[in-house]
Every structure is written in structure tokens, then in C-alpha cells.
């Protein structure tokens, strides 16, 4: 036996026979064998020129302006939004949204503008012109009018937020006679009957955009984050000079990433800021969640009230049963030697106008002596002790 591997050798006649077989099998195909030669530099240059795609001209994209006409209408039972998209090639696309929530005419107009912005973002449009019939919405967006109502302020902030997705964006007002086609789309979208026209794309919206969009999870609540977010996004400060100075100093430690407020430190990672409801959820999850250990308030910061009200902690935790002070035993050497006296009342008035109860208990036998009295005087207490204790059980050693 040897350590060398066993190799199966093929003799030359066998190899020749196999080559002949392969030659017969491949003879039906037009196959030729050529030796590999060195690739010349010119061949490589020709390959690069032939298969390299030219870069898109950014200037040509800027010249392609898309135009979206929007309109909105709100009636007692019918509310809808109409959109007409005009492509640079001259094509027109119609899009309708049926609103399934109460909304005013101004809110419906804003919903139309927001729908146009969302469609433009989905189509990847960089240069967009939005035309609307609403003078109020266009004036507020172009900072010509002031948005005083809270909901109008939210719609305006959301519109300006979505406007940042475009390289160039303009808003323009158009009169009613130039917006007739969009008005027809609004009527079809707001109708309860299903449209039989296949050219109109329909969508059903069940709640306002300002409630669906995540950016307003912070701004819609009166939390501690609202003034910080407002200053970081819009530069808005309260009118109070001292409060404005505090917010300016405080916002240096915060930043907004992906529509979420974070607190930054020198050596720590960004800490996500949460509102009051989210903070309560985090505390509950840490305290009694799937990995919760029902930690006490000393290890769980700002959770004293949560731990105090936790049902499981009250039922199953180890209760400290030691008294606050050391207990001192009271010994009674023999029966009726030590008595405790106290007054109970005032009680509901009884027969003989009695309102109080004078009670004496022997510490050794737990014997009880009681008497109802109307008023508390020194003479009555003296008479009770003499008649109920001394005359019956002799003079006691101690009275407590």
C-alpha cells in the first residue's frame, strides 16, 4: 500500500476514440476554433464608445414644466377634489378624490393642492406649476395673506413642507372660466355614483391630510416640543422676549431628522423626543412590558406615579412589613392592674341626650367597662373611674 492517490489513466487509443466521437457530434454545427489574440487598445475604446450611455442634460429637465390644475368643493353631503395634469408633451390626465370627512370649501381647496403636490412627487416632477381657483389658499402660500385659523395654519405648513421636494415650484391663481374642466372633475369625484368614464382615476380619502401626515404628530399637540419644532422649521418665536430667548438657547441642543425631533449630545447618540402619551407608553413598556421586571421608581426615572398605581406591583411585590419605629411592649403583671381609657364621639344623640362613650379596657384580661355620657367634664370622668374601676377592681397600678 502507498500513500499516493490512485489515478485512473486513459490510454491514447481511448482518448483518440472519444475525440472522434465529439467531432462527429459537433460536425452538424458551424463551429470554428480561433486562437485568442491580444485585445488592441482601439477595440477597447470602440467598446466604451458604443456601450456608454450619454448623461441626461439637467438643463433640458428644467425646461420641461409640468402644470397641475386643482379645484375642491364641499357641500352638505358631497365633497371632492379634481386634478388635471398637463404634461410637457401636451397630454392631459384627470384625477379625482372623493372626501369622506367634513371639510369647508377652503379645506377642500387645500386638499386639492396637496393632492397635486403628492402626485407631482410620485411622478418625479422637478419643475411644477400649480394653478388653483382659491385666492385664499394661493395668497396664504405666497405669503400675501395670513393664516389665522389653526387648521389653515396646519394646511399651510404641510403645503410648504411638501413644496421642498421640488427644484422649482410656482403657485398661481386662475379665474373660474379657465378652470371649468377641473370643476367638471370635481363634480364627478364628489358624486356618490360611481363614474363610468374609464379615463378618470378615482381615489377615496377618509381623513384630512393634516391628520394623516406624520409631521403633525408633534405640531398638532400642545406639548413641550411644539415651540422647538416651530422655531427649527419656520423660525417662529413667541412674542414674549424672555420666552423667545429661552427657546433660542434651548433649540441649539435639538435637531429634526426625517420629520422627528432629536436631542443631540457631545458623545451620546441622538435621543428621540417623545410627547406625553408616547412617554407613558415607553414607561409602561419598560415597567410591565414583555421584558419588564416591574422595577421601582428609584431605578425607573419619572415613574413614581406609574409604579404606585401598578396593579401587579401592589399584588405580588415584596412588601416591607417592618414598622417605622421600634415596637415597645407593654406588660401587665396581673389582672386589672393596668387600664386604658379613651372617649369615643361625638356620636348621634341618643336617649337622655347622650353623645359620647367613655370606654376603659384592662390590658391583661381585655375586660371592657363603658358608659354613655352627655358632656365631657372632670366630675363625670372622676365618677366613672371611681364607680366602674376602683369600686369593682380596687385601685389600679396604671391608667393610660
Residue spans per domain, the chain? 61-212, 218-272, 287-316, 338-399
Pairing of strands 356-362, 368-373: antiparallel
* Radius of gyration (C-alpha) of the chain in whole angstroms: 45
Q: How far does Cα 61 stand from its chain's mean position?
A: 38
Write out pLDDT tens, residues 228-261. Answer: 887 887 777 777 888 888 888 888 888 887 677 8
CB 261, CB 271: distance < 8 Å: no
Backbone angles phi, psi at 395, to 5 degrees: -70, 125
Distance, in Å, from the CA atom of 387 to the CA atom of 400, rounded to the nearest integer, reads 18
Res 317: pLDDT: 67
Distance, in Å, from the CA atom of 23 to the CA atom of 41, rounded to the nearest integer, reads 36
Topology alike, domains 61-212 and 338-399: yes
Q: What is the CATH number of domain 338-399?
A: 3.30.420.10
Q: Per-residue pLDDT tens, the chain, 400 aa: give them.
A: 444 444 455 566 777 788 878 877 777 777 777 776 666 677 777 777 777 766 555 444 455 888 998 888 887 778 888 888 888 888 888 888 888 888 888 888 888 888 888 888 888 888 889 988 888 888 888 888 888 888 888 888 888 888 888 888 889 888 888 888 888 888 888 776 555 455 677 888 888 888 766 554 444 446 777 788 878 877 777 778 888 888 888 888 888 876 778 887 777 788 888 777 777 777 777 777 666 666 665 555 666 777 777 777 777 666 666 666 777 777 777 888 888 898 888 888 888 788 888 888 888 888 888 888 888 888 888 888 888 888 888 888 888 8
| CATH architecture of residue range(s) 61-212 | 2-Layer Sandwich (3.30)
Distance, in Å, from the CA atom of 281 to the CA atom of 278, rounded to the nearest integer, reads 5
Beta pairing partners, 127: 168
CB 242, CB 135: distance < 8 Å: no
Amino acid at each position: 500500500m502507498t500513500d499516493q492517490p490512485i489515478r485512473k489513466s486513459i490510454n491514447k487509443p481511448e482518448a483518440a476514440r472519444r475525440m472522434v466521437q465529439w467531432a462527429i457530434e459537433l460536425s452538424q454545427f458551424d463551429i470554428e476554433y480561433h486562437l485568442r489574440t491580444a485585445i488592441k487598445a482601439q477595440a477597447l475604446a470602440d467598446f466604451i464608445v458604443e456601450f456608454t450611455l450619454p448623461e441626461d442634460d439637467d438643463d433640458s429637465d428644467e425646461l420641461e414644466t409640468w402644470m397641475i390644475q386643482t379645484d375642491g368643493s364641499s357641500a352638505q353631503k358631497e365633497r371632492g377634489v379634481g386634478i388635471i395634469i398637463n404634461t410637457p408633451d401636451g397630454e392631459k390626465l384627470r384625477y379625482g378624490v372623493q372626501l369622506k370627512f367634513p371639510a369647508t370649501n377652503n379645506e377642500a381647496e387645500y386638499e386639492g393642492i396637496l393632492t397635486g403636490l403628492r402626485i407631482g412627487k410620485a411622478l418625479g416632477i422637478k419643475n411644477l406649476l400649480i394653478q388653483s381657483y382659491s385666492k385664499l389658499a394661493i395668497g396664504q402660500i405666497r405669503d400675501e395673506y395670513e393664516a389665522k385659523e389653526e387648521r389653515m395654519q396646519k394646511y399651510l405648513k404641510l403645503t410648504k413642507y411638501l413644496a421642498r421636494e421640488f427644484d422649482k415650484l410656482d403657485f398661481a391663481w386662475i379665474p373660474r372660466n379657465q378652470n371649468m374642466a377641473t370643476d367638471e372633475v370635481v363634480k364627478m369625484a364628489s358624486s356618490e355614483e360611481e363614474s363610468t368614464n374609464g379615463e378618470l382615476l378615482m381615489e377615496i380619502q377618509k381623513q384630512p391630510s393634516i391628520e394623516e401626515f406624520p409631521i403633525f404628530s408633534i405640531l398638532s399637540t400642545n406639548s413641550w416640543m411644539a415651540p422647538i419644532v416651530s422655531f427649527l422649521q419656520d423660525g417662529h418665536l413667541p412674542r414674549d422676549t424672555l420666552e423667545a430667548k429661552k427657546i433660542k438657547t434651548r433649540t441649539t441642543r435639538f435637531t429634526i431628522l426625517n420629520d422627528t425631533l432629536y436631542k443631540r449630545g457631545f458623545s451620546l447618540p441622538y435621543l428621540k423626543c417623545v410627547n406625553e402619551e408616547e412617554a407613558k407608553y415607553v414607561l409602561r413598556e419598560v415597567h410591565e412590558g414583555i421584558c419588564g421586571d416591574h422595577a421601582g421608581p428609584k431605578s425607573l426615572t419619572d415613574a413614581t406615579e406609574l409604579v404606585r398605581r401598578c396593579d401587579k406591583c401592589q399584588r405580588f411585590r415584596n412588601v416591607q412589613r417592618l414598622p417605622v419605629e421600634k415596637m415597645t411592649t407593654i406588660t401587665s403583671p396581673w389582672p386589672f392592674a393596668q387600664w386604658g381609657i379613651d372617649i369615643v364621639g361625638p356620636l348621634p344623640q341618643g336617649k337622655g341626650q347622650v353623645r359620647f362613650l367613655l370606654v376603659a379596657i384592662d390590658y391583661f384580661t381585655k375586660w371592657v367597662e363603658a358608659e354613655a355620657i352627655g358632656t365631657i367634664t372632670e366630675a363625670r370622668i372622676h365618677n366613672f373611674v371611681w364607680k366602674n374601676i376602683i369600686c369593682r377592681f380596687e385601685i389600679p397600678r396604671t391608667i393610660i
